[in-house]
Amino acid sequence: MTSPHTAARQMNRCAAAHTPFLFAFDFELENAIFMENPLEQQDILFRTPLGGNSTVKRKDIDTRLTAHPMSLEAYQQRFDTISHGLHRGDSFLANLTVQTPIACNASMLDIFETSRAPYCLLVPEHFVCFSPEIFVRIEGNTISTYPMKGTIDAALPNARETILNDPKETAEHVTVVDLLRNDLGLNANEVEVARFRYIDQIDTPQRSILQVSSEIKGTLSNDWQAKLGDIILSMLPAGSVSGAPKTATIHLIHKAEQGQKRGFYTGVFGYYDGERLDSGVLIRYIEKVQGKFYFRSGGGITVNSNCLSEYNETIEKIYLPAT
């Protein structure tokens, strides 16, 4: 572990020298992970669309998972804290998350090795992540981000039309897109929304989920590699898992989540291969704390949100990846 600012300086140095590296930042920006030439080690395992030090292994694992969610009443207290802040005008959108005790027969290594998610990270004895969400990609001088906001059970009648025409989901997505567009604009020119609210299907052993995303692009200066760490750090925490306006919303989240730190959950990690960068948001996340396992999940809250619906969505996101 290192500090985020130390990691950012190391990223600047290595990217300028075209040296590959792995990085991760936690949500609170208190801790970071940095490794040069990460393909040559096995202490931390990772996979991204750009590369990794482990391949998907085709083996059968027990994907059954038993979750013990907090009560609706306990969730309501957290939801109400967010709701009051929204109505006061402290925030337009806030991402509320919970930590759920789970029991499963699969090990964290099993989960990592068999997941087909595009962004997988295993820090042994700490956490495993199998995330579908891109944070930023950089190729050439083009930086792209893909905020993911809005999910629905694919088995529901007219699921695609329902999620795309839902006013609450639309407003939430527009807010995140605007926030991420501004975040890209801190370092890039010619920022544009290239695709707005497209749908991907995510298959799990329990169900299939439709996930709504957008694509935002911008153009970096020719010397972006020498300041790559600073670029990434300036965009954190990720807007899709915090909210808007970001600083005030983070204070509201901390209050609603009762001071429980997220750690690397909803942070970001990525791989630089010497020329290009690909990174993901650390969601779909199982952590080990004092010998017990917990699944972290959450969702965006707006003034139009319904507590029961948000509670159920938080539970629906607790699953093991399809093998």
In the predicted model, what is the mean pLDDT of residues 293-309?
Answer: 94
pLDDT-based confidence at residue 81 (cuts at 50, 70, 90): very high
pLDDT digit string, tens, across residues 211-249: 899 999 999 999 999 999 999 999 999 998 999 999 999
pLDDT of residue 323: 57
- C-alpha span between 22 and 24 (Å, rounded): 7
Sign of CA dihedral 152, 158, 161, 167: negative
pLDDT of residue 215: 95
Q: Is the pLDDT of residue 159 over 60?
A: yes
- C-alpha span between 320 and 323 (Å, rounded): 9
Q: Is the pLDDT of residue 148 over 70?
A: yes
pLDDT-based confidence at residue 19 (cuts at 50, 70, 90): very high
pLDDT of residue 205: 66
Q: Which domains does the chain have, with CATH numbers?
A: 4-139+222-317 (3.60.120.10), 142-219 (no CATH)
Q: Which residue has the tokens 């140095």?
A: 13
Strand pairing of 32-36 and 21-25? antiparallel
Average pLDDT, the chain: 93
Higher local confidence (pLDDT), 11 or 206: 11
- C-alpha span between 242 and 191 (Å, rounded): 21
Q: Is the pLDDT of residue 208 over 90?
A: no
- C-alpha span between 21 and 41 (Å, rounded): 11
pLDDT digit string, tens, across residues 1-18: 899 999 999 999 999 999
pLDDT-based confidence at residue 172 (cuts at 50, 70, 90): confident
